[in-house]
Amino acid sequence: MPVHVCALKDRSWLLSLAARVTLVCAAFSAALSASPACAQSAAAWGFGASGQLGNGANLSRSTPVQVSGLTSGVNSIAAGSFFGMAIQDGAAFAWGANGNGQVGNGTQTNVNAPVQVAGLTSGVTAIAGGNNHSLAIRNGGAFAWGQNSLGQLGDGTITLRTTPVPVTGLTSGVTAIAGGGNHSLAIRNGAALAWGLNNFGQLGDGTNNNSATPLPVSGLSSGVTAIFGGGFHSLAIQNGAVRAWGNNQFGQLGDGTTNASTTPVTVAGLTSGVTAIAGGVQHSLAILNGDVYAWGANTLGQLGTGSASGSSTPIRVLDLPVNLIAVAATNASSFALSSDGSLWVWGSNSQGQLGLGDTNNRTTPTQVFAPPGFMFTSIDGDAFSSHVVATLVPGPSAAGVLMVAGAMMLRRRVRDSKTKGE
């Protein structure tokens, strides 16, 4: 689930920093002191041929554009494969590709601007997009709709649904959901569950058998605080440690091997203190102590190391500011959001999904700017293709964001120099 800058409670270190960079950072202090219920809008960029940018067109964009109608009251956003989702004032909306009913409006016709998801008009607290299916939490219960040929909706059938149906057994106590390639995950009362396709063991139950209803993930019966579904692998945070299972062809499980696993393994070096996870089809990301770590495939620079060499264990991504709070990914691109509202991107950019105004790949982090007068508060990527959705709030100018981000980069470099004894 995306982490929001405006929801952060402890901003004292950032406000202290702002005091040292005078007038521009005073604007940041005001922005970050806003109510957690700040008025958020939604933006999107990248591949847009199916209307997944939600701006009323079917065109790709290499810089952020406003999602039509979502100019305030946006609580959360999510990206599925060629479609987008949002919660606005407690109601679920979706747009983009709809050939499998994943928009949830009772049709199978693509839409290039947000429409309300049938039946989810209030009480929605979380949303997630998979390959061709969608998920939501409403009043503590899980709902799903879209493609269901592999049981990914979890309703005990393999029947396609163009409107939401309850997920079997998950009628209360659900706190998080995630959509994988053709599988789904949830957290209920601190335990992880999974259902759908299981050809690489991505359900984590010790088998390769598909399931049309939720199954407990082996070893994750308590202490689970976050989940993520990749193309054919899954991630979770349990008691601060990253656990991974499923496909591992490119080292995306992070255990130092390329062996698939039908039960969770612990990601090397990420055994405590991890606060966020994400990934694409062949790579994974995590945040530990405000730093971003990446592992898996790197053919398009998605690990941010400056090379094309992959890694089966986590590598810290350099040249980022301190206090990163959220990560996201498209198929082969990576994104990191700092608590100062700055957004950093790297990897594949063939459809402009990095938001930099061009289509050139980046092998190291580069800052992307929000539209003038705004700053980013959350981010999510289409982990199976190449578009991005984000929330924004009114904030300092691009120059202001750049100045504070620069100060934070300096702070990181001073810290790293002390660590190395330089």
Q: What is the pLDDT of residue 11?
A: 43
pLDDT at 395: 83
pLDDT tens digit sequence for 118-154:
999 999 999 999 999 999 999 999 999 999 999 999 9
pLDDT in tens, 73-128: 999 999 999 999 999 999 999 999 999 999 999 999 999 999 999 999 999 999 99
Determine if the pTM surpasses 0.85.
yes
Domains of the chain by residue range: 5-420
Please report which confidence band the pLDDT of residue 322 belongs to, taking 50, 70 and 90 as the band edges: confident
User: What are the pLDDT digits (tens) for 370-422?
Assistant: 999 999 999 999 999 999 999 999 987 555 555 555 555 555 554 555 444 43
193-230: per-residue pLDDT in tens?
Answer: 999 999 999 999 999 999 999 999 999 999 999 999 99
* One-letter-per-residue 3-state SS of the chain: CCCCHHHCCCCHHHHHHHHHCHHHHHHHHHHHCCCCCCCCEEEEEECCCCCCCCCCCCCCEEEEEECCCCCCCEEEEEEECCEEEEEECCEEEEEECCCCCCCCCCCCCCEEEEEECCCCCCCEEEEEECCCEEEEEECCEEEEEECCCCCCCCCCCCCCEEEEEECCCCCCCEEEEEECCCEEEEEECCEEEEEECCCCCCCCCCCCCCEEEEEECCCCCCCEEEEEECCCEEEEEECCEEEEEECCCCCCCCCCCCCCEEEEEECCCCCCCEEEEEECCCEEEEEECCEEEEEECCCCCCCCCCCCCCEEEEEECCCCCCCEEEEEEECCEEEEEECCCCEEEEECCCCCCCCCCCCCCEEEEEEECCCCCEEEEEEEECCCCCEEEEEEEECCCHHHHHHHHHHHHHHHHHHHHHHHCC
Q: How buried is residue 20: exposed, middle or buried, by Cβ count under 10 Å (0-12/13-18/19+)?
A: exposed
CATH architecture, domain defined by 5-420? 7 Propeller (2.130)
